[in-house]
């Protein structure tokens, strides 16, 4: 799975999650679809439900981790 495919999958999940919450009267504070997708994954406990979604979260989490480590090493 490419990074772009992982981003697309989580953004789609995030959009669906935000729309569903908005329809029920919850405010999602206009967060990004990517962040909403990650929130949905963890809040709805979707781990193990879809292999591709698990892989997407792993790819994105790895990117975030590597960026944080890189930033900390520069300090």
Residues 6+ apart with CB under 8 A from 38: 10, 14, 57, 60
With beta carbons less than 8 A apart as the criterion, state whether 28 and 22 touch: yes
For residue 60, give both structure tokens: 């994105």
Residue 15: CA atoms inside 13 Å, Cβ hemisphere, count? Answer: 6
Summarised one tens digit per residue, pLDDT across range 53-71 is 999 999 999 999 999 999 9
Summarised one tens digit per residue, pLDDT across range 2-57 is 999 999 999 999 999 999 999 999 887 777 999 999 999 999 999 999 999 999 99
pTM of the model: 0.84
């Amino acid at each position: 799975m490419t990074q772009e495919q992982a981003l697309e999958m989580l953004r789609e999940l995030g959009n669906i999650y935000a729309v569903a919450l908005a329809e029920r009267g919850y405010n999602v504070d206009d967060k990004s679809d990517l962040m909403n997708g990650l929130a949905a994954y963890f809040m709805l406990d979707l781990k193990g439900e879809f292999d591709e979604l698990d892989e997407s979260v792993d790819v994105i989490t790895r990117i975030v981790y590597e960026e944080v480590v890189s930033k900390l090493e520069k300090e």
